[in-house]
Structure 1
């Protein structure tokens, strides 16, 4: 409602309107599908999700002491976002299994899922290593079929709003 209100104010005052929305959106956080994504599609507003791989979580790294990366072991914002629930783990495991089945990396599958959404214009990718760019390119080339998408999405259940205040 806050975004819609800002658009209404801009229109009423003759100001430039928003051209895009940067929202938190990925396989383990899909609350934006309820209202924000349809609103943006209806109003022709670009959707540019941040953290399409849930801070690396969907890349297969995990969280906490057993995580395979320093970020996964130490990132306090992952806790703020509520990552790592049983539901999230079920989804992450499906991403890893799908990647193995398709002969690619979990990061590629997670990003390909985001790119499969018609309302997504382009995700924000925090590439910190050269191979991250290669993964992003591979994700643009991977077309997930409807059955695979449904299997990845199936464990998801609504959760508390996260990613903004």
Structure 2
């Protein structure tokens, strides 16, 4: 397994991590813990060390799944989880945020229990709370480092300016934000800030929520409860326009003799040595395909061609629906 450093002074982790969210919610018509556990087993066999989850996935059930999977081999992984997104039991689409110190402490204790571990390697603030200064939230997270409950701090979906403020309170090891061929906004200020501050960048959805694999040809391909049905990029005219982008990936991949998913991941990996993507899957076959992307080498000409075919903001539609867009802090 190829390795990359998580931040300027951080640990080495597998160059490709595994996003575990889809094992428990959002992308599935029904949980299949047996398949998910088999995929986690295979990931460890192949040398994947960075596993990514959050308390909001399920909610809570994804952390429970990982806690079960890692019994007896916790030392083999670098475990990342998150706090800060609050869900409404009465409205499945609603999302709020909470970055208050007392909530952070409550959240970390819950995650430690569910993950069946004494320490969390990387603890992210999933979304910034506009009602709580970032300095206050990061200060509370820093206290947890001193207490030995967490090792490294991460932030997710925050602006370059907010990242700068957070980093002044306590070193931030990783920033997690969506990044792929069809979500390149971070190149304007986020990626330069990470480079300048020595912070690792962890792209989630590096395959465009599965769209860049070329396997999705119609909204009908989604299960009835798949959240992508309500995502603007997968609806109406946006879907048709974005499918044209996907076809470019398929054509380029065919020319190179690799799978579209591997080409898309290779492009993300080529954007910097401080970048550690976390494509998600609950199936072993896709896990193996994704890891093989580490051996796909792109020439400068190929990267330039892909950049030209997928300029910033090429995708039609917002990344999320209204509720999730409302709680982003990346302007």
Does the alignment pair 1:84 with 2:236? Answer: no
Compute the displacement of 1:157 (Å).
3.9
Compute the displacement of 1:122 (Å).
0.7
TM-score under structure 2 length normalisation:
0.42
Deviations 1:93-124 (A, max 9, x none): 22101211122211111111111111542101
Q: Which runs of 5+ in 2 are unaligned?
A: 1-157
CA 1:84–1:149 in structure 2 vs 1: closer, same or farther (change >3 Å)?
A: farther
Q: Which runs of 5+ in 1 are unaligned?
A: none
Structure showing greater relative contact order (alpha-carbon pairs closer than 8 Å, 6 or more residues apart) = 1
CA distance in 2, matches of 1:27, 1:8: 28
Deviations 1:59-99 (A, max 9, x none): 00235346xx436x95235426886363x334312210121
Paired residue for 1:64, among 218, 228, 235?
218
Aligned partner of 1:5 in structure 2 is: 162
Paired residue for 1:29, among 171, 178, 183?
183
CA 1:78–1:153 in structure 2 vs 1: closer, same or farther (change >3 Å)?
A: farther
Which protein is richer in helix relative to its size?
Answer: 1
The residue correspondences of 1:47-126 to structure 2 (distance < 5 A) are: 47-62=201-216, 64-65=218-219, 69-70=221-222, 74=226, 75-76=228-229, 78-79=231-232, 84=239, 86=241, 88-118=242-272, 120-126=274-280
Q: Is the 8 A contact 2:166 2:172 kept in 1?
A: no
Q: Is the 8 A contact 2:217 2:243 kept in 1?
A: no
Note the aligned Cα RMSD (angstroms): 2.9
* Structure (1 or 2) with the larger CA radius of gyration: 2
Which protein is richer in strand relative to its size?
Answer: 2
CA 1:30–1:81 in structure 2 vs 1: closer, same or farther (change >3 Å)?
A: farther
TM-score under structure 1 length normalisation:
0.80
